[in-house]
Structure 1
Amino acid sequence: MSSTPTNVLLIMSDQHNPKIMGSAGNPLVATPNMDRLAARGTRFSDAYCASPICVPSRASVATGLYPHQTRYWDNAMGYDGAVESWGHELQKVGRRVESIGKLHYRNENDPTGFDVQHLPMHLKDGVGQIWGSVRDPLPRRDNAPLMVSFSGGAESDYTRYDAAVTDRTCEWLADEHNHDEPWVLYSGLLAPHFPYLAPPEFFELYNPDDMPTPTMRPEHGHARHPWVEAFAGVLPGLDDANTEEERRRAAAAYYGLVSYLDHNVGRILDALDASGQAENTLVIYTSDHGDMVGSRGLWGKSLLYTESAGVPLIIAGPGVEAGTVNSTPTSLLDLYPTILDAAGVAATGEPRPGTSLLQIAESPDPERAVMSEYHAMGAASGAFLLRKGDYVLHHYVGYDDELYDVATDPNQTKDLAHDPAYRETLAALLAEIESICNPTDVDAQAKADQAALVERFGGPAVAATLGTPGETPPPAV
């Protein structure tokens, strides 16, 4: 734990595929500001969310606990402060802690650990996608928006909201009243979350004809795992039954949104520099989950592949070695102890599974294990990811496993789960999951909790119609 309290600036985007960033080796995308942050700090190359969907992931960021511990399973019911957050720990010692932008909790009136919430974005009217809690049988969402068809160069409510959040963040950092004592500030941006509409000047950075062809597409002979095929079958809005022209336009728009996000990150970093506080501020950049961006013929989140469950993760500031890449498997659960560590605040609640990224930066551990889990819309059963060393296991309750060597096969093209040579590796990774939780029991608990929620809202037929069909609307700005 830091002996000298440091300010913490946590910038969290939404749905940023970790492979689409210049410092991660992508030669096409323009992300100069994220890249300069990585150049003056440490980029964690193998970072994962706790659940590849907004609300559970964000509840885990707040609490430092897995979804099976918090029981925020899906996008139906948001974090309400019932489980203490890192913000609560900061408030106990009188540390100033504020948020600007998207949190995606239940509502701003719940005691979630912020002294002030500026321009807060939460679930609409405190209730999210109840339809996503209907798990047996899974309802087919034929009315879901076609994400790929609705794309291109244009402003949206989401891009306008991000501009307002960035403005407010820059104003907050410039305000001399915020310079008198240590602080923790969270800034939540929406890009590159769909709709895939990038401001024209950013969309025009990319020629759709130059966009890379997504990997592992079914029409190229790559059969999808049965669990994934079942997911695609009930969420056709995420399946890629579009023309090649539409796919390329959507990919260009996604890249444009990443560059728009980078532009806003740059504005915030410049404001921090101008405030004179950069030397005493730990900056963290990450996202709540990724986006498939057409890989395996799918768009959006919810899957265990790196494009969806992986996240970008960069830290820079006092005591952080510049220009390093750390291959230790890391998790968004590590943000809880990192923020407290940098702020010089000791945790008082129940132990959390995460480890401070400041400690991991000093003592890398490539054999560390981290887990992610999914129990939300389209999931026929609970899905669990375990990353350790070079290998990643996907364990689907009631289905065959998937096993990949992501050191030699980063695009996860060769499933090793049925190769006898990897039987011991698979068993060891499954044992790691079982040391954290019992997947079968967790799957049953998730479904029981969701069934009770569905009954509360009138039963499966009614619940299947409740909640926004697509993205959560932002507040008017």
Structure 2
Amino acid sequence: MTPANMLFIMSDEHNPRMLGCHGHPMVKTPHMDRLAAGGVRFSDASCNSPICVPSRASFATGRYVHQIRFWDNAIPYDGTVPTWHHRLRENGHEVTSIGKLHFRATDDDNGFVEEVLPMHVLNGVGMVSGLLRKDVRPGKATLKLATEAGPGDSSYQRYDDAITDAAVQWIKERADKRAGKPWALFVSLVCPHFPLIAREEWFNLYPEDQVPLPHRHERQEWPRHPFLDTLRIFQNYHEGFDSERKMRRAIAAYFGMISFLDHNIGRLMTALEEAGLMDSTRVVYTSDHGDNLGARGYWGKSNMYQDSVAVPMIMAGPGIPAGQVCHEPVTLVDGFPTILDCVGAPRHPDDADLPGNSLFDIANGLTHPRDVFSEYHASGAVTGAFMLRRGSLKYIHYTGMEPQLFDLRTDPGEEHDLARDPDYAGPRRECEQALRAILDPDAIDALAFRDQAARIEEVGGREKILAGGNYGYTPPPGTQPVYS
């Protein structure tokens, strides 16, 4: 593959079902749809942990969370594990980030030549309340989600304005700099991450009375499982959504934020065109995880249902086939080899054991079918959750609890748990064996709890954490968190 520049765009909390090119009948995403029409859309992409900090650490390092031990939003990436940014910089490529990183701090060597408008975890510490996994209590900040939802402005929308402005300017400045090695630009936007507030021009695209209600939103339809029941205690967003009107208003705002995100992606594509860089730049768009958006009584992320763990993944540019949909399962760890391949950087010997494959090879059918993997050890999880995807089968292992098994080909809504179905005893056993070939879930669950116990003591202990309150989301640069 001929080396080319890489523009890698990541959003935050974008459920891939909410895309025009994915087939959503209502959500308006013309720029992302155009990107998909000119390239490859990966229909079965997942994150490697459905929460921000570990997902982004896994993407950066190309390794699974249990390999790097950045488990949750209070144990952030600290520059100690090599990333694709380090590898590009070592090989003389200009590699810049603009926007959200959610690492520990800019003072760490995160591998970029420059970090523009970076958003890291609050005060280098992060959201410590999520460390108390064996002491799950109802959230308070979570109840704001329903009351805040609707039309209006927000600090996250203003932050995305600034990120996009900076990225457009960065691209313009590269118009006359054609010499040298290809560059890589990582643009990380925060919408459609909650709060579910969208400016009126985007909110009004979606009449509230026409917005669909969430999948299985009625309480009697909610799936029951010890892991899921406990997660609802901590993530009690549903208590604020006591009417269909509130749900529709929140979903209309989420749809509006996706259209706002799409608008910003369109600005970046226009900047490439005007700079004359379209023919020398490949573009990847994805998100760090999805959003349940009220399905099964969940809002936000943190479980292994597709709404939470699946992500959009689109790739376009020179040498990439147009109008293709690739159904081979992929994950964010595939980003590391993809970016190196794009710019022509050699593989480092220490990266020979990375679990990912280049998306270029996957899209061109040059790889064998493989299992993909995700895990969760963070807020509200009384035990570790491990997901193995093998073709259309999706196996979810909970340490010390009954597993779940779904066939996404016949049951895309994950309504029928097949884990106890005798007809699926063989596939369930094979999936568990494949999972255990990746890791020992009992040992890794214990390791995560040990690391988190040490972190609890490091930040002052359980009582200090409980007394400190909580905030709903990381504030962008220049703003302060609102505690509850």
CA distances 1:135-193 after superposition (whole Å, capped 9, x unpaired): 22223323544312211111100000101111111111111355433100000101000
Q: Which moved more, 1:347-356 or 1:163-172?
A: 347-356
Q: Which residue of 1 aligns with 2:442?
A: 440
- Provide the secondary structure at the position in 2 that maps to 1:336: helix
Kept in 1, the 8 Å contact 2:96–2:185? The answer is yes
* Letter aligned with residue 233 of structure 2: G
Kept in 2, the 8 Å contact 1:384–1:439? The answer is yes
- Provide the secondary structure at the position in 2 that maps to 1:445: helix
CA distances 1:311-365 after superposition (whole Å, capped 9, x unpaired): 0000001211000000000000000000001111122123210000000011176
Kept in 2, the 8 Å contact 1:386–1:433? The answer is yes
Q: Which residue of 2 aligns with 1:155?
A: 153
Q: Which residue of 2 aligns with 1:335?
A: 335
CA distances 1:278-315 after superposition (whole Å, capped 9, x unpaired): 11111000000000011001110111000000000000
Change (3 A) 1:96 1:150: same
Q: Which residue of 1 aligns with 2:293?
A: 293
Q: Which residue of 2 aligns with 1:65?
A: 63
Q: Distance in 2 between matches of 1:366 and 1:374?
A: 26
- Provide the secondary structure at the position in 1 that maps to 2:354: coil
1:18 counterpart (16, 19, 33)? 16
| Map 1:252-291 → 2, pairs under 5 A | 252-291=252-291
* Letter aligned with residue 49 of structure 2: S
Kept in 2, the 8 Å contact 1:22–1:30? The answer is yes
CA deviation after TM superposition for structure 1 residue 79, in Å: 1.1
CA deviation after TM superposition for structure 1 residue 217, in Å: 2.6
Residues 1:217 and 2:205 aligned together? no
Residues 1:384 and 2:382 aligned together? no
Change (3 A) 1:476 1:143: closer
Residues 1:208 and 2:203 aligned together? no
Q: Which residue of 2 aligns with 1:185?
A: 185
1:420 counterpart (419, 422, 426)? 422
Q: Distance in 1 between matches of 2:222 and 2:184?
A: 46
Runs of 4+ deviating beyond 6 Å: none
Q: Tell me the percent identity.
A: 45
CA deviation after TM superposition for structure 1 residue 432, in Å: 1.3
TM-score in terms of structure 2 length = 0.95
Q: Which residue of 2 aligns with 1:120?
A: 118
Change (3 A) 1:109 1:329: same
Change (3 A) 1:387 1:120: same
Q: Distance in 2 between matches of 1:242 and 1:6?
A: 51
Q: Distance in 1 between matches of 2:140 and 2:354?
A: 40
Q: Distance in 2 between matches of 1:279 and 1:168?
A: 22
* Letter aligned with residue 82 of structure 1: T
Q: Distance in 2 between matches of 1:49 and 1:221?
A: 26
1:453 counterpart (445, 452, 455)? 455
Q: Distance in 2 between matches of 1:172 and 1:67?
A: 32
| Map 1:35-184 → 2, pairs under 5 A | 35-175=33-173, 176=175, 178-181=177-180, 182-184=182-184
Q: Structure 2: 5+ residue runs without aligned partners?
A: 480-484
CA deviation after TM superposition for structure 1 residue 461, in Å: 1.6
* Letter aligned with residue 88 of structure 2: L
Kept in 2, the 8 Å contact 1:327–1:364? The answer is no
* Letter aligned with residue 273 of structure 2: D
- Provide the secondary structure at the position in 1 that maps to 2:191: coil
Q: May I ask how many residue pairs the two structures share in their alignment? A: 475
* Letter aligned with residue 124 of structure 2: G
- Provide the secondary structure at the position in 1 that maps to 2:145: coil
CA deviation after TM superposition for structure 1 residue 115, in Å: 0.3
Q: Which residue of 1 aligns with 2:32?
A: 34
* Letter aligned with residue 399 of structure 2: V
CA deviation after TM superposition for structure 1 residue 384, in Å: 0.7
Q: Distance in 2 between matches of 1:189 and 1:296?
A: 27
Q: Which moved more, 1:320-329 or 1:210-219?
A: 210-219
Q: Which residue of 2 aligns with 1:431?
A: 433
Q: Structure 1: 5+ residue runs without aligned partners?
A: none
* Letter aligned with residue 322 of structure 1: A
Q: Distance in 2 between matches of 1:339 and 1:256?
A: 30
Q: Which moved more, 1:352-361 or 1:234-243?
A: 234-243
Kept in 1, the 8 Å contact 2:235–2:298? The answer is no
* Letter aligned with residue 407 of structure 1: R
CA deviation after TM superposition for structure 1 residue 390, in Å: 1.0
